[in-house]
Structure 1
């Protein structure tokens, strides 16, 4: 029996941070759109923000970060557990956003939403880890697992507060870098908690998704999704701003007309 020493591809580590940052920025913009949307339009904004934050900033970052980890032995991924981990990330972030949208100024609701989303994100992380199939037994350092869960809860709570309180573009860019650090921190602490022990009696499955194939698919799909979400969001926000300016001009014209009469 031997313990596999971790080795990271730092290009992929940097790529995981990049997609966490871009996903965070896109998610913040979508939540901004939700805050300015009419009552009947908020659901679609919440769903879009859930995919950007849960699917892009968290899940895509998580799997690219996992692929960056080289255990020195072949690894494939269970596609069903991988898909389930994506669903968990999107659903828990969406639930947190929905709860907070009902009472955006409530500190108690912020904490509840943060705990739900953060715990769910941690569940996503460890279900994603369970999707790894290799000739090794997996165990965990419980202390580091607890630390990673606490980081996930803190990251989710901070992300929700930022999403519901920021307006300026530069503020959102800065917040995106901070959120990405928190998301990556949770992930890599969770990875550090993993203890892999080589077991030659475990056979590799005949089928599974190769890490490189999965990494390329996740990155390309996530970037396309995030860019489309961002373009639609910015166009909608610009449209609303233009409509608001037009309404102000019309109001001023009416006042001037009334003054003349």
Structure 2
């Protein structure tokens, strides 16, 4: 059995991974707030899915993987499979957000929250293990099924909590608190799933093919930076309040109220 390292560069990769997860979660929650009150929420839901699924989950996973190493083994990545895992992350988050947003508007947010959490959580787990499958190494990899199942449970619970936050969180302070929790949950799922992996020496060991971490990281970070800046600009140009109180006509409304929410 070969020894695996999850923190090959110390705390650098887990800290950066958490920052990316927190940033993506915070941006996604801000987009979701606007989707709740928008007459056309589609664009905001896509933005939230890209922020949470792309930056908050997939980039977090990839940055954390830079700190993963196996004694005496080389690691490369299959680029198409790695990119496919990114698509999985964004799509499943979009499905979950779309379900709960429509469910809330139809008054059926309870069942849609559970359904969306299950679909999104299992999808996030699929993204994680698809990313692991994209890893090429000259060692034999195996997984502990019990820990894999535990990581999937964590993913479903975390996804359900994230969707609940997307439905109910209002205000900047509350969004920051929710993003902190979401970042911890995403990172916890990742490192739990990573502990399920075991590596054994492969003899003879053919050299793995694919891109190394640095080759993938540079274009990844450039792309994520551009998308993040665009989302920040869009969020910054919109109203920061979910609801605003507007004056009612003199004498109040027919129900005696002095104002209305819109």
Give 1:205 shift.
Answer: 3.9
Aligned to 1:45: 44
CA RMSD of aligned residues (A): 2.0
**Do the aligned residues in 2 keep the contact of 1:133 with 1:204 (CA within 8 Å)?**
no
Give the TM-score, by structure 2 length. Answer: 0.87
Query: Once the 2 structures are TM-superposed, how far is the Cα of residue 101 of structure 1 from its aligned partner?
Result: 1.2
DSSP-derived class of the 2:3 partner: coil
- Aligned equivalent of 1:203, options 201, 206, 221: 206
Report deviation, 1:3: 1.6
Q: Deviations over 1:227-250 (max 9, x none)?
A: 321220231225997xx67xx47x
Flag as ranges the 4+ runs of structure 1 deviating above 4 A: 238-241
Aligned with 2:185 (options 182, 185, 188): 182
Picking from 201, 218, 221, the partner of 2:220 is 218
The structure where helix makes up a greater share of residues is: 1
| Separation (CA, whole Å) in 1 of partners of 2:67 and 2:4 | 14
Find the residue that maps to 1:201 and give its secondary structure.
coil
The equivalent residue for 1:31 is: 32
Q: Which position in structure 1 is the counterpart of 2:164?
A: 161
Q: Matched residue of 2:199: which SS?
A: strand
Whole-Å Cα distance in 2 between the matches of residues 219 and 164 of structure 1?
A: 29
Say if 1:173 and 1:82 are closer, same or farther in 2 by CA, change over 3 A.
same
CA distance in 2 between counterparts of 1:168 and 1:238 reads 8
- Asked whether the equivalents of residues 138 and 196 of structure 1 are also in contact (C-alpha less than 8 Å), the reply is yes
Ranked by relative contact order (alpha carbons within 8 Å, sequence separation 6 or more), the top structure is 1
1:259 maps to what in 2? Answer: none
Please tell me whether residue 65 in structure 1 is matched to residue 64 in structure 2. yes
